[in-house]
Structure 1
Amino acid sequence: MAVSEGGLLWLYAVARDSVPVEVTGIGDAPVRAVHAAGLCAFVSTAPAGLSDAGALQARLEDAEWVARTAVEHHRVVAALASAAPVVPAGLATVCRDEARITATLVRHAAGLTGALDRVTGRTEWGVKGYVRGGPAPVPETRAGGAGTAYLERRRAELSARDRRHDEAARDADAAHAELARRADGAHRHAPQDRRLTGEPEAMVLNGAYLVPDERAAAFAAAVDALAARYPTITLRLTGPWPPYSFVPALGAEPSDPDRVPGDAPVHAGGPA
């Protein structure tokens, strides 16, 4: 069934069967299921105004719209994931009609089924690590006037900050290795800029970990223990999240002539 009025279908997640949860999609659009190959894709009509690829591309260049829509997208994915294992779709994964979604499910049935097997009974947790701040040493003032003293003090502050960052980075590597051993899967995302984190200190760890549900409490305790072991870093546990970091990307093949912007997903709401 094609989308009415030439709109696009917004994809949230794929599961094995219909998920017994009622949730509205972005813009309060009804979420419905598309079945094929023993799988079920959850979709809604795309937000108002997204009638074609050009309109979607324009929206993706609007940071405020992307941030707001990411929250709504994650709300739906999280509701579905709370009821059954899912392969989440990235933000702005869209298809032109249900026939294309059905074709995607059939084409990728084996991979999607394998991904669902992998995440069943497991949840993604994020751990973010930041350089733990501290005062920089201030050298004694030497002869030569206030200007010389200021330059020496500034050099000392910068040197101390660099050393603190390097030590924190090494400890973050060790913490990540330990957490990865405690998980069934681990992925290290690129550190986020301070403008995104809102933190005064630099991020040195942005890890995602696929943890069996029965070991979630032990994993959280391990994060606390590592924070105490490594005084150079501040560790923060985030989650639980749907398994954004441990599933294949949902979208059209790059060679697909009908591919639209957004078929290559951008993660939303997750730990990245």
Structure 2
Amino acid sequence: MTELRYVYAVCGPLDAPLPAQLTGVAGAVPRLVGHAGLTAVVSHVPADQFSEKALRRNLENLDWLSDTARAHQTVIAALGSVTSPLPLRLATVFHDDSGVRAMLEDGAAGFRETLDRLRDRVEWGVKVYVEEQRAQDDASGEQREARRERPSAQSLASGSGRDYLRRRRSERAGRDEAWRQAEGFAQDLHDQLSRHAEETRIHPPQNAELSRASGRNVLNAAYLVDRATSEAFVERVDSTKDERPGLRVELTGPWAAYSFCAPPEERTDASGPAAGTAGGGAS
């Protein structure tokens, strides 16, 4: 069977071996390919699954994609225990070791710059949601009120009709104010956390149908934080979780710095959640 080389990450020289009995994509054991003072973490994978043609097919298979992503992440997480890796994109594949070495040779300067920037740093993710139940309660209350007080055409011309419309406008204004306060809280939290991070990235708000997370996502951010100060960063996030009823703050990590691996010309950022809350998305 023809085998290809699946590359998980690029690192500097490792001071410790990979964890024993670690397996990666397609159940293969990762190994190291060194060149130009850099190390690629690779494993052998079957060509019938990872050739260019096979990948086009398999990347449409959600079960295959999920299994591959999970195995990829397992190796990256293991690397995070011995170094600060530069994770590569899912399904980065070469024909043989010489192709891997050519990648290290061609990208050596950029890899070294990024590895220096990521050294001894990890990624933390922070999301803020407006609780779904709060929005549902608002909507249900409005619907009950509308059923109870829906005016006739005649009453709309009267004072009671004007009062009804005034209440409806007031309710809408109240909901709009609640969203503004939520986004203000998210912006303030992002500003605070940014002061304790080396770099930040604002991702598009998560699409609830894809993430299956309840509530409206008003902040979806990543923070590059020194390992030495990560405990203080986590405590700062935890201290905000009960500050505002109706909002949910979620912290994930520490991760390898996936959000901060792009070369300089591809890096983007935003000043805060207001830049991304208008539309849906997932990250």
2:40 matched to which residue of 1? 41
Q: How do residues 1-150 of structure 1 correspond to structure 2 at under 5 angstroms?
A: 5=2, 7-18=3-14, 19-21=16-18, 22=20, 23-46=22-45, 49-132=48-131, 133-134=133-134, 135-136=137-138, 137-138=141-142, 139=145, 141-142=148-149, 144=151
Q: Contact 1:171/1:233 (CA < 8 Å) preserved in 2? A: no
**Distance change in 2, residues 1:17/1:190 (3 Å):** same
Aligned residues: CA RMSD: 2.8
Q: 1:215 aligns with which of 206, 225, 229?
A: 229
Per the alignment, in what secondary structure is the counterpart of residue 49 of structure 2?
A: coil
1:243 and 1:143 map into 2 onto residues whose CA distance is 54
Q: Contact 1:172/1:233 (CA < 8 Å) preserved in 2? A: no
2:247 and 2:48 map into 1 onto residues whose CA distance is 45
In structure 2, runs of 5+ residues without a counterpart are 264-281
2:211 and 2:50 map into 1 onto residues whose CA distance is 33
Is residue 191 from structure 1 mapped to residue 205 from structure 2 by the alignment? yes
1:198 and 1:160 map into 2 onto residues whose CA distance is 27
Per the alignment, in what secondary structure is the counterpart of residue 58 of structure 1?
A: helix
Number of equivalenced pairs: 244
**Distance change in 2, residues 1:232/1:179 (3 Å):** farther
The C-alpha deviation readout for 1:236-255, integer Å capped at 9, x for no partner, is: 11011111111236xxxxxx
Q: Contact 1:129/1:203 (CA < 8 Å) preserved in 2? A: yes
In structure 1, runs of 5+ residues without a counterpart are 250-270
1:168 matched to which residue of 2? 182
Q: Contact 1:164/1:232 (CA < 8 Å) preserved in 2? A: no
1:254 matched to which residue of 2? none
1:109 and 1:115 map into 2 onto residues whose CA distance is 10
1:24 and 1:242 map into 2 onto residues whose CA distance is 18
Bigger drift between 70-79 and 240-249 goes to: 240-249
Q: Contact 1:171/1:232 (CA < 8 Å) preserved in 2? A: no
The C-alpha deviation readout for 1:109-143, integer Å capped at 9, x for no partner, is: 12211222222221111111111342325448437
Q: 1:237 aligns with which of 251, 262, 278?
A: 251
Q: CA deviation at 1:184?
A: 0.9
The C-alpha deviation readout for 1:83-104, integer Å capped at 9, x for no partner, is: 1121111211212222221111
**Distance change in 2, residues 1:233/1:214 (3 Å):** same
Higher relative contact order (CA 8 A, sep 6+): 1
2:91 and 2:122 map into 1 onto residues whose CA distance is 23
**Distance change in 2, residues 1:48/1:154 (3 Å):** farther
Q: Which has the higher helix share?
A: 2
1:210 and 1:30 map into 2 onto residues whose CA distance is 29
Q: CA deviation at 1:144?
A: 2.8
1:197 and 1:160 map into 2 onto residues whose CA distance is 28
Q: CA deviation at 1:227?
A: 3.1
Give the TM-score, by structure 1 length. Answer: 0.79
Give the TM-score, by structure 2 length. Answer: 0.76
**Distance change in 2, residues 1:156/1:65 (3 Å):** farther
> Aligned partner of 2:68: which letter?
T
> Aligned partner of 1:102: which letter?
R
Is residue 205 from structure 1 mapped to residue 205 from structure 2 by the alignment? no
Is residue 182 from structure 1 mapped to residue 179 from structure 2 by the alignment? no
Per the alignment, in what secondary structure is the counterpart of residue 90 of structure 1?
A: strand
Of all paired residues, the percent bearing the same amino acid is 36
The C-alpha deviation readout for 1:22-79, integer Å capped at 9, x for no partner, is: 3222122121211110001011123563252111011111122212211111001110
Q: Contact 1:183/1:209 (CA < 8 Å) preserved in 2? A: yes
